[in-house]
Amino acid sequence: MPADLLARHESLFKTYYKPLVVYATRLIGDQADAEDIVQEVFAQVWKKKEDIEYGEKMVSYLFGAVKNACFNNARHLKVVRRYEQETQYRQPMIDDPYHYLLLHEIEQKIDATLDKLPGKAKDVFIMSRYQQKKNREIADVLNMSVKTVEAHMTKVLAALRRNLKQYIGILIIMILSA
């Protein structure tokens, strides 16, 4: 490895590390995470050191890479938070064998109900509840109107209410006791 390559990278790091951390901190609001992101960007640049031109465009590249890494980090945190919210009530229930069996039974009942539905209604429900798609997105994917998507969801939810009504009281007690 040429010494000048190491010197250029080190100079780039010393010159732009702090400004990039400030920039990343403004984007994500957390300095420690910003420092990690900037260090990771420099590590990625170092991995590509033979292919990169250390010139005027490098500064723009660094700021763009930090910005993209910050947005990726924000998306990742959003997914983590959503998962934590969805599982916050469920985890204590899973730890109890009775609750685990009951939840498994309810999941089987949901699957059985969905299997009895016409294909489009099931697709609409899966895209809405499991894939977190909005009605407009579902309508576009399935080539139908938003009103049709809403009608399918109404049918699915009515079927689920009918087939799961015996579990409602138990679920409320489980959630309140968690």
Locate the domains of the chain by residue range: 3-87, 90-177
Q: Are 122 and 156 in contact (CB under 8 A)?
A: yes
Q: What is the pLDDT of residue 83?
A: 74
What's the half-sphere exposure (Cβ side, CA atoms, 13 Å) at 25?
A: 10
Rounded CA gap, 67 and 130, in Å?
A: 30
Q: How far is CA 173 from the centre of its chain?
A: 30
- 3-87 CATH fold: Rna Polymerase Sigma Factor; Chain: A (1.10.1740)
Token match 């294909």: residue? Answer: 119
Cα angle 169-172-175, degrees, rounded to a multiple of 5: 150
**pLDDT above 80 (res 167):** no
Q: How confident is the model at residue 176 (pLDDT cuts 50, 70, 90)?
A: low
Q: What is the pLDDT of residue 93?
A: 53
Q: What is the pLDDT of residue 3?
A: 66
Q: How confident is the model at residue 41 (pLDDT cuts 50, 70, 90)?
A: very high
Q: Which residue has the higher pLDDT, 88 or 163?
A: 163
Cα radius of gyration rounded to whole Å, the chain: 25
What's the pTM?
Answer: 0.47
Q: Are 117 and 125 in contact (CB under 8 A)?
A: yes
- Of 3-7, 22-26, 96-100, give the lowest mean pLDDT range: 96-100
Residue 28 region, left (φ>0) first, then alpha (ψ -120 to 50), else beta? alpha
Cα angle 28-67-61, degrees, rounded to a multiple of 5: 155
Q: How confident is the model at residue 2 (pLDDT cuts 50, 70, 90)?
A: low
Q: Tell me how far apart the terminal alpha carbons of the chain are, to the nearest angstrom.
A: 59
Q: What is the pLDDT of residue 36?
A: 93
Q: Are 153 and 161 in contact (CB under 8 A)?
A: no
As a whole number, the mean pLDDT across the chain is: 82
Residues 91-114 have a mean pLDDT of 75
CATH number for the domain formed by residue range(s) 90-177: 1.10.10.10
Rounded CA gap, 114 and 54, in Å?
A: 57
Q: Are 156 and 81 in contact (CB under 8 A)?
A: no
Q: How confident is the model at residue 175 (pLDDT cuts 50, 70, 90)?
A: low
Q: Which residue has the higher pLDDT, 26 or 3?
A: 26
